[in-house]
Amino acid sequence: MHDVSSKRIAHLHTAPTTFIRKYVFSLDHKVIGKQYYGLALVAVFVGMVLSWLLRIHLAYPGWHIPFLSKLSAAGAPDGVMTPEYYLSLLTMHGTLMVFFVLTNAPFAAFGNYFLPIQIGAEDMAFPRFNMMSFWTTFLAFVVMMASFFVADGPPISGWTAYAPLSAVGGDAGPGLALGQDLWAISIAIFCIGSLLGALNFIATTLDLRTKGMSLARMPYSTWAWFVTSVIALLAFAVLLPACILLILDRVAGTSFFIPGGLILSDKLQPHSGGSPLLWQHLFWFFGHPEVYIAILPSIGIIATILPVFTRKPLLGPRAFIGSMVAIGFLSYMVWGHHMFVSGMNPFSANLFSVPTLVITIPATILTLLLTASIYGGKMRFDTPALFCLGFISVFISGGISGFYLAQPSLDTYLHATYFVVAHFHFVMAVASLFGVFAGTYFWFPKMFGRMMNETLGKWHFWLTFLGVYCVFMPMHYLGLVGNVRRYSAFVDDYLAPLIPVHKFITIAALLTGAAQLIFFGNLIWSRFRGPIAPENPWEATSLEWTTTSPPPFDNFGGNHPVVKNGPNEYGVGGTDGNDYVMQNAAPKSA
């Protein structure tokens, strides 16, 4: 049924034979995609366990957690974590989740696997770079995890590593000596990996599109990965210099971020003239786009999956793509909204506030288009579809609170409270992960040739959906009361009455986390026991569904599909009984 150009193709590289070349140092974008996915799974599991520990400590400070004292006798004597160890784990939770999960899973993992297939290429533009970028990222992960096992543990300066706390070294507190070194080095390495990856994505999208695959005909996920890779290219190109300067301040005695006359541990620090705000500017110039690096791929994934299950074209494709590009563009003008009260010139607050608010326009357009695409559809409520609906809901919830934090005058009250925690967890973490879940249930058949278990999938969705609202919605209320984030205990008089809320959140978090175990279980079970998947189980149109599940080494068995349609051909009636047209099939004359 698939019309593919019969021309025989010379391959980028021949199929590997040895185990090492096949599964470890593989050049195959599909294997690398799976490797990224696996790395993200490990990272997300660690990050999730950390969040449990943090939540338990906040709600039940007295609990003894035996294995914790094994992990760090100093950090958690008799299993009760010290304030500094709380901050260490907090830092690691944030760092692992933001860099190794939210950047890797929706972007690097799915992007690597499906971007080339969706544009009809048989691999990335630079397979060797691609392999290098994964192993660089892996190295970064190893270095980061190593900080758990060095003297006085991981850094306590948070995932934003504000200078001078992060820059002056051990005098600033536990974990800020070797632990912080490892952190900075790991992030620098991560930047290199991500830059290589982004370069590859862009070149692949520009150069390797098959015949007829115009930019306009690219699936939304491909568009999202493309836009994201452009953002990532610029963002990590700024974070890398920042990390280099930070490392120099720490090890070479320079004073980029450290001003003079600082007394830590009763010692006058041997630095002078540095600017702590410089770090914040460099960091957030990366940091805000990073939010979109995390969320845009998921938006694209949802936009690709939703029509498959509503059996109805996505509404306003061009407006949709335009909005994604607009968000990517605007994301570079708004970093200052993280710094309203940071001591930068208060005039600039207004300048940063406006584009921040303006960004809500394309975001609203995306949300409306997705929602309206459901209207009048013939919805099939398989698990991927449920996660699409869930995504839209949490994206709305998280986006709404952005209105508050974008206004300097409200940020003066809400800044650094749980309101912020609620905001970015909804819009960046949960939304992005819902995209990953949807993508997993949707593409698993293609990746492993087996269907995932629907019943478990539905349980997973409902528990997670209810769970995240129970965990993060109350955090808004805490924020309104002025509950400061990053506190390892609530000793302030006005925080005592909030402890019950924290208990509720903790219980909800533990249950939601437990629900993720269903997902892990489902992955493993389906990998080996799941029913064999057909070529196109969901009746989707994009090119990955024109090849076998899983695709052969060169994706299209030596052929290259010739594209004749956009990805949006759903709900088109016809004689063949199908209501859709594959991208490489002849258009229906309907």
Partner 1 sequence: MGKVFAVVLTLITLVSIAFFAMHTWWLPPDISTTGKAVDRQLDETLIGTGILFLAGQLMLGCFAWTASDKNRAKKIKPFPGGAAPLVTAAIILVGIEIFTLTFVGSKTWGAIYLTAAAPDSLRIDVQAEQFAFYFRYPGSDGKFGGVHPEKIDDGSGNYFGLDPASDVAARDDIVAASLVVPVNRPVSLALHSKDVGHSFYVRELRVQQDFVPGLDIPLHFTATQIGKYEIVCTQLCGLGHYNMKAYLEVMKEEDYEQWLKTQSGQ
Partner 2 sequence: MGIQIQEAIHSGQTPGPPSLGAGAGRSTGMAEFRPERSETGVWIGIFAIVMSFAAFTSAMIVRQGASPDWRHFELPRLLYVNTLNLLASSVTLGLGRKQLTSVAGLLASATERAQQSYSEGMNWMYCTLALGALFIVGQVLAWRTLATQGLFLSTNPSSSFFYVFTAMHAAHLLGGIGGLAYMIRKLSKADRTGQTTGMRALCVYWHFMDGLWIYLFVLLMART
Partner 3 sequence: MKSKFLLLLAGVALVGSRGGARTPAPVTSTIAGKVTYTGTPPKMKPIDMAKEPSCAKQHPAPVMTENVATGPGNALEYVVVYISAGDAAEAPPTQLARYDQKGCQYLPHVLPMQAGQVLQIFNDDQTSHNIHPLAKVNAEWNKSQPAGSAPIDTKYDKPEFIPVKCNIHPWMHGYFVVLSTSHYAVTGPDGSFSLKGLPAGKYTVSAWQEQYGTQTQEVTVGAGEAKVNFTFKALPY
Question: x-or-dash pattern for partner 1, window 91-130, by CB under 8 A?
Answer: ----------------------------------------
Check binding of 266 to partner 3 (CB under 8 A): yes
Structure tokens at 32: 């690398």
Check binding of 173 to partner 3 (CB under 8 A): yes
What's the min distance (Å) between Cβ of 349 and partner 1? 6
Q: Which stretch binds partner 2 (CB under 8 A): 19-27, 47-55, 268-276, 416-424?
A: 268-276
Check binding of 515 to partner 1 (CB under 8 A): no
Pick the closest to residue 568 from 217, 319, 227, 325 (CA basis): 217
* Distance of alpha carbon 61 from alpha carbon 64, whole angstroms: 9
Q: Which of 213, 294, 295, 363 binds partner 2 (CB under 8 A)?
A: 213
Q: Which of 16, 316, 449, 558 binds partner 1 (CB under 8 A)?
A: 316
Q: Which of 480, 499, 507, 510 binds partner 1 (CB under 8 A)?
A: 480
Q: Which of 481, 499, 507, 510 binds partner 1 (CB under 8 A)?
A: 481
DSSP assigned state of 270: S
Check binding of 174 to partner 1 (CB under 8 A): yes
Q: Which stretch binds partner 2 (CB under 8 A): 43-51, 203-211, 421-429, 544-552?
A: 203-211
* Contact call for residues 314 and 306 (beta carbons, < 8 A): yes
* Distance of alpha carbon 559 from alpha carbon 516, whole angstroms: 39
Check binding of 212 to partner 1 (CB under 8 A): no
φ and ψ at residue 570, rounded to 5 degrees = -110, 160
* Distance of alpha carbon 527 from alpha carbon 521, whole angstroms: 10
With CB under 5 to 8 Å by kind, the binding choice for 347 among partner 1, partner 3, partner 2, none is partner 1
Pick the closest to residue 289 from 365, 232, 349 (CA basis): 232
Q: Which stretch binds partner 3 (CB under 8 A): 160-168, 251-259, 264-272, 471-479?
A: 264-272
With CB under 5 to 8 Å by kind, the binding choice for 64 among partner 2, partner 1, partner 3, none is none
Q: Which stretch binds partner 1 (CB under 8 A): 34-42, 311-319, 444-452, 531-539?
A: 311-319
Q: Which residues are paired to 268 by β-bridges?
A: 263
Q: Which stretch binds partner 3 (CB under 8 A): 107-115, 261-269, 272-280, 303-311?
A: 261-269
* Contact call for residues 159 and 253 (beta carbons, < 8 A): no
Check binding of 83 to partner 3 (CB under 8 A): yes
With CB under 5 to 8 Å by kind, the binding choice for 78 among partner 1, partner 2, partner 3, none is partner 3
73 burial (CB, 10 Å; 0-12 / 13-18 / 19+) is exposed
Check binding of 126 to partner 2 (CB under 8 A): yes
- Please name the residue that has the structure tokens 């770090």: 279
* Contact call for residues 164 and 276 (beta carbons, < 8 A): yes
* CA dist list (Å): 141 to 77, 135, 174, 182, 566: 27, 10, 21, 10, 39
| Torsion on CA atoms 127, 129, 131, 136, rounded to nearest 10 | -170
CB atoms within 10 A of CB 542: 27
Number of residues that bind partner 2 (CB under 8 A): 67
Q: Which stretch binds partner 1 (CB under 8 A): 244-252, 307-315, 430-438, 555-563?
A: 307-315
Check binding of 446 to partner 1 (CB under 8 A): no
* Distance of alpha carbon 78 from alpha carbon 70, whole angstroms: 9
Site for partner 3 in 428-467 (CB under 8 A): none
Q: Which stretch binds partner 3 (CB under 8 A): 70-78, 270-278, 316-324, 427-435?
A: 70-78
Spell out where 147-303 has E strands: 263-264, 267-268
* Distance of alpha carbon 207 from alpha carbon 118, whole angstroms: 13
Q: Which of 79, 259, 537, 558 binds partner 1 (CB under 8 A)?
A: 259
Structure tokens at 160: 């934003």
- Give the three-state DSSP class for 585: coil
Pick the closest to residue 418 from 505, 515, 509, 508 (CA basis): 505
* Distance of alpha carbon 534 from alpha carbon 188, whole angstroms: 42
- Please name the residue that has the structure tokens 């608010």: 357
Q: Select 24 or 74, whichever has its Cβ closest to partner 3.
A: 74
Q: Select 174 or 513, whichever has its Cβ closest to partner 3.
A: 174
Site for partner 3 in 472-511 (CB under 8 A): 489, 491
455 burial (CB, 10 Å; 0-12 / 13-18 / 19+) is exposed
Check binding of 342 to partner 2 (CB under 8 A): no
How long is the chain? Answer: 590
Q: If you write DSSP's letter for every residue of 68-88 in order, what string do you get?
A: HHHH-TTTSGGG---HHHHHH
- Please name the residue that has the structure tokens 């590997």: 16
Site for partner 1 in 146-165 (CB under 8 A): 156-158, 162, 164-165
Q: Which stretch binds partner 2 (CB under 8 A): 163-171, 250-258, 444-452, 531-539?
A: 250-258
Site for partner 1 in 370-399 (CB under 8 A): 371-381, 386, 389, 392-393, 396-397
- Give the three-state DSSP class for 418: helix
Q: Select 25 or 477, whichever has its Cβ closest to partner 1.
A: 477
Check binding of 543 to partner 1 (CB under 8 A): no
Check binding of 79 to partner 3 (CB under 8 A): no
Which residues sit at the interface with partner 2, rule CB under 8 A? 5, 7, 9-12, 121-122, 125-126, 129, 195, 198-199, 202-203, 206-217, 223, 227, 233-234, 236-238, 240-242, 244-245, 248, 252-256, 259-260, 272-275, 277-278, 281-282, 285, 318, 321-322, 324-326, 329, 560, 562-563
Site residues, partner 3 (CB under 8 A): 61, 74, 77-78, 80, 82-84, 173-174, 265-267, 489, 491
